[in-house]
Amino acid sequence: MSDQDQTHALRAELRQWLARNLPADWRDHQHGDNLPGFLAAQKAWFARLVEGGYATPHWPKDYAGGGRSLPEQIAIFEELARAGAPRMSLFFVSLYHAAMTLVECGTEAQRARHLPAILKGEIWCQGFSEPGAGSDLASLRTRAVRKGDRYIVSGQKIWSTLGQFADQCLLLVRTDSSGPKQGGITFLLMDMKSKGVEVRPIKQITGDEEFAEIFLDEVEIPVENLVGQENKGWKVAQVTLSSERGLTLVELTERLALSLWRLVAAAGGQERLDTQSARAVVDIAARIEALRAMLATLMSNRMSGQERVGDASILKLAYARLSRDFTALGLRLEGLAALRDTDYILGAGYETGNWMFDFLNSYQYNIAGGSNEIQRNIIAERVLGMPREALV
């Protein structure tokens, strides 16, 4: 069977599986005022995806559902989006950031412990950003001191996605302040139930509590939870962030592409779409197709070891602008009616049906995974070869 035939067969198989397994009422359990319903629905759907073998197509083939080719990965993302399946918001960090970091940088013991645990529902969060170290992540001040077989950690993290529900945390700490900022950072795995860990949800302007801040007071973390080498955590962190600028963008872009019809619906249907608005929708559609093509090239180059420095930053910046423009257009097309509905669906991405919520929420992509300003600096310095002194 050719690769193309194999991908077609996978699509047909997944469509049949979705017809039998997709819960029709999942949105009813994920309204913004129903956190217990959101958690239960996410966990139940994740368990079904794992059982079906569709949760981890991007993982190594040694794990259930893994070892899929890039066309097969995209096919799975497309079919899940086309069926209106819920995004795995609660397990987003687990499936991408944590898993890919462990696969590329973790020890055999760490992979053996955590990858199967993720498949059983272990939830991860990120402990990267701090109140004084967001875009300039290398300025982080959370301190870790090694004492025997333990690191003693104190400090504060912020903007940790769904950190209030996490079991484990990808944690960046400072273990050396004597040299360059990036040189004294260490990457640790932290059990969120450790003594001294306090988590507080952050209520956003949208009414959502998607993020949390984490306070660490003399938290003990075993040295065996070190990823990579001490003081070499900056390199590991780039692997974590790279997964967000690659694999995760594949899924997000596919869902965006399959939500184009919502723009037409926002205008009241095709018959009410004026020429100017139609051109705006076509422009968005063309930008989505361009991003899909660029992502396919990136992932192909990554798997063959030919990825260029800065490529992922270009795509992340493009997606951030596209998601903002997409939701802004939907908001404009729907007009005053967009202010009528204040309800929203947790973790539904562009499928909430609430343009105001989606528009406000789109601004997170200007910051998440490295701010737009940081991406522009990376592109200027590493792609265009501009001197650091010229960057602002």
Helix axes 70-82, 3-21, angle to 10 degrees: 30
Distance CA 146, CA 87 (A): 39
Structure token pair of residue 1 = 């069977």
Lookup result for tokens 């079906």:
52
CA–CA dist 378, 362 (Å, integer): 22
Phi-psi region of 53 (alpha: psi -120 to 50; beta: other; left: phi over 0): left
251 included as an active-site residue: no
Kindly give, in sequence order, each residue whose CB lies less than 8 Å from that of residue 271, ignoring residues fewer than 6 positions away.
none
Neighbours of 27 (CB within 10 A): 17
Phi-psi region of 77 (alpha: psi -120 to 50; beta: other; left: phi over 0): alpha
Nearest to 221 by CA among 143, 166, 107: 143
- Distance from C-alpha of 79 to C-alpha of 84, rounded to nearest angstrom: 9
Closest residue by Cα to residue 194 from 234, 226, 229, 166: 166
212, containing H or E segment:
strand 211-222
Query: Which of 244, 251, 334, 351 does the annotation list as catalytic?
Result: 244
Catalytic residue numbers read: 244
